[in-house]
Amino acid sequence: MEFYLIAVPLVLGFILDSVLGDPLWLPHPIRWFGKAISFFEQRFNSGKNRKIKGTFTTIFLVVITYLAFYYLIEFSKFNKYFYYTLTIIFVFYGLANRSLITEALKVEKKLSREGVEAGRKQVGFIVGRDTSELSENQIRKSVLETLSENLSDGVIAPIFYYAIGGIPLMFVYKMINTLDSMIGYKSDRYKDFGFFAAKLDDLVNFIPARITALLMVIITFSWRGATFILKFGNQHSSPNAGYPEAALAGILNCQFGGANKYHGKWIEKPLIGENDRVVSKKDIYKTALINCLEAFMFVCLVLLLLCFTK
C-alpha cells in the first residue's frame, strides 16, 4: 500500500505537468514562497550582520515549509481520496518541465518569426543575464543552457527529493531553490544576505545535477557527452550547473560559456565544450525532446526503485 501512496501521486502529477504546464491563472505555492522571501528580504537585508539575518531567514523559511507540508499531508490521510487529490496537485506544482520547454520554444518562435530584438525580450523572461546585446546565436545558447540547468532544478531534483521524503521534502527543495533564485546572487545587495541560501542550494543540487547529466548521455548514447562531463563539468562557477551543461555541449557538439552581463557587470564564464559553432533551432528542439525523455525515464527509474524498497 505504501508504494501506491507515493507512486500514484508521482505518476498522475507528472502527467498533469506534462499536459498543463504552469497556467498563470492557477494559484501556485512558489508564488507564495516568493512573497514570503520578499517580505523577509525587505525587512532584514540592511544594516549590519546581513549574513546572520540571511541565514536565519533561510533556515526559518525551510523549517516552516517542511512543517506546513508535513502536517498538511498527515491531515489529508484521514481520507484516501482527499490524500490522493492533494498529493497529485502538489506533485504537479512541484514539477516544471512543460513550462520550461514551453518558454524555451516561445523564445525560438519569437526569434524565428520576429527577429533578434523580439528574441532578446522573450529570452529575458527565463534567464538572469542582461539580454539587450545578445546575438541570435547567443540567444539560442542561452536557451540551451537554461534547458540543461533547469532540467535538474525543475524536474530531476524535485522528483529525487519527493522519492526520498515525499511532498514535504519536495517543497523544502523548492523553497531552497526559490531562495537561491531570488537572493542567491553575488551582487552588492545579496552577496551577504543570500550567502547561506546559495550554499544550501549548491548542497541540495549536488546529486540531482549529476544524475541529470548522466541520464542525458545515457538517453542519447553520447560518448562525447560522457567525456565532456568529466572534462568540463567542474569548470563552471557553480559546482552543479556545469555538469548538465557539459553533457549537453557534448551531445550537441557545441560550446557554452563566455562573457555575459549580469546586473550591469560583465562576467567571464569558463568555456564548456570545444566546438564554438552556430547553434540552430534544431538544437533547441532536440534538447526539448531530451528533456521530455529524461523526465519520463527518471520517473520510471524512481518507480522501479520504489517497487524494491517499499
Residue partners of 126: CB distance under 8 A and separation at least 6:
100, 103, 104, 107, 143, 146
What would the pLDDT profile of 207-218 be if each residue is shown by its tens digit?
999 999 999 999
C-alpha torsion 103→106→108→111, nearest 10? -130
* Nearest of 96, 106, 81 to residue 16 by alpha carbon: 96
Per-residue pLDDT at 128 exceeds 90 = no
Give the total number of structural domains in the chain: 1
Rounded mean pLDDT of 259-276?
Answer: 76
Rounded mean pLDDT of 83-90?
Answer: 97
C-alpha torsion 87→15→105→291, nearest 10? 90
DSSP H/E element including 256? strand 256-262
**Positive or negative CA dihedral for 279, 282, 288, 292?**
negative
Per-residue pLDDT at 1 exceeds 60 = no
Q: What is the pLDDT of residue 263?
A: 61
Could you give the angle at the alpha carbon of 240 between the alpha carbons of 238 and 243, nearest 5°?
115
What would the pLDDT profile of 55-72 be if each residue is shown by its tens digit?
999 999 999 999 999 999
DSSP H/E element including 259? strand 256-262
Task: Compute CA distances 107 → 47, 81, 117, 122, 281, whole Å.
Answer: 40, 40, 11, 5, 10
Task: Compute CA distances 229 → 22, 109, 161, 200, 242, whole Å.
Answer: 31, 30, 23, 23, 8
Q: What residues pair up with 260 in beta bridges, in sequence order?
A: 267
Lowest mean pLDDT among 89-98, 119-128, 149-158, 249-258: 119-128
Report how far residue 102's alpha carbon sits from residue 87's, in angstroms, rounded to the nearest whole number.
24
Q: Which domain holds residue 48?
A: 2-309
Report how far residue 306's alpha carbon sits from residue 308's, in angstroms, rounded to the nearest whole number.
5
What would the pLDDT profile of 232-260 be if each residue is shown by its tens digit?
999 887 899 999 999 999 999 999 987 67
Rounded mean pLDDT of 173-194?
Answer: 92
Query: Judging by DSSP bridges, how do beta strands 265-272 and 256-262 pair with one another?
Result: antiparallel
Residue partners of 25: CB distance under 8 A and separation at least 6:
none
